[in-house]
Amino acid sequence: MSSNQASARDLGLRFEGHLPTGPLNALTDVAGVKLGHVTLQGDGLATGVTAIIPAEGNLFRSKLRGAVDVINGFGKSAGLMQLAELGTIETPILLTNTLNVGTCTEALVRRALAENDDIGRTTGTVNALVCECNDGSISDIRALGVTQDHAAEALKAAAPGAFAQGAVGAGTGMTAFGFKAGIGSASRLLEIGEERFTLGALVLANFGPAGQLMLPDGRRPHPKDLAEREQGSVIVILGTDLPLADRQLQRVAKRAGAGLARLGAFYGHGSGDLTVMFTTADRVEHDPAAPFAPQRRLSDDLIDLAFRAAAEATQEAVLNALCHAPGTRGHSRYYPSLADWLKENQQ
């Protein structure tokens, strides 16, 4: 199993009327963002870790402002409660399978301890951020195959620029809408005033029943199998360099749900659907030099552009996850490739 190198646009899907993409059409179009994967295959495993380092430097000492929006909370992610309360991100973000959240959490904690001698002694503890989906339809999730070394390797591999999508890293064993899925990404450029900003999306797509997927042109691909119950999940990571206040970040994060809805998602009972968002603008110092810190804030009258970018980038990121992933046999059925369906049903 490996990733195809064909995006939704490469395969003929059109996004008329959408905002322009960044140069890579990926989360790493946001300056400073790095991404790395570790993929585990063989001996019943089809799983892994995807690491997002959202900015340069020591994130515990110089935190990013962030937010979380939980659409449907059937999930086991770590670190969301403090993120919702304080609005800051102080570790990289790891994506993995459901039963390895604890392993990846410990890996992030150990990394932060190694970088900061005062954690747990003269200052507080650290809030590790790990998000998950269940890859048990393809991988032996009970094997607990992801180790702390794998998490550390994914973090070490994180780099700026283009990265593999589809059945790689945390996406290796994921499926969506009856097709093979995984990791996907997209980005949008925003012109506000006389400045240009970027909003990028990365998804771990593992949701949606067969036959429910809606393409931008209105077609509904069906993987030639019986419809199945919606019981997967989707994690959306949104990053931007746009200066947004805490409340604005949460509002923009919520609009990722509009992108999922465009695809046919209805957030089923067993689906863990959430968005984590961050901005690289106006970081929050752990040891501030002054009682007050200045922050820029987008005018609410202009925030619709960010809402639109979040919805568009999320929609395209999921389609890229589907298009990059090759057909794969799971435990009880075959999950075909959306790329193959598009080639067979060219308009």
Catalytic residue ranges: 233, 271, 273
Contacts of 137 (CB under 8 A, 6+ apart): 173, 175, 330, 331, 332, 335
Whole-Å CA distances, 258 to 253, 329, 337:
10, 31, 24
Question: Residue 51 forms beta bridges with which residues?
Answer: 36, 94
Whole-Å CA distances, 270 to 18, 51, 134, 136, 273:
31, 25, 11, 14, 9
Rounded distance between C-alpha atoms, residue 55 and residue 265, angstroms: 31
Contacts of 43 (CB under 8 A, 6+ apart): 140, 143
Rounded distance between C-alpha atoms, residue 177 and residue 332, angstroms: 16
- For residue 167, give the nearest of 339, 2, 341, 335 by alpha carbon: 2
Q: What are φ and ψ of residue 296, in 5° steps?
A: -85, 155
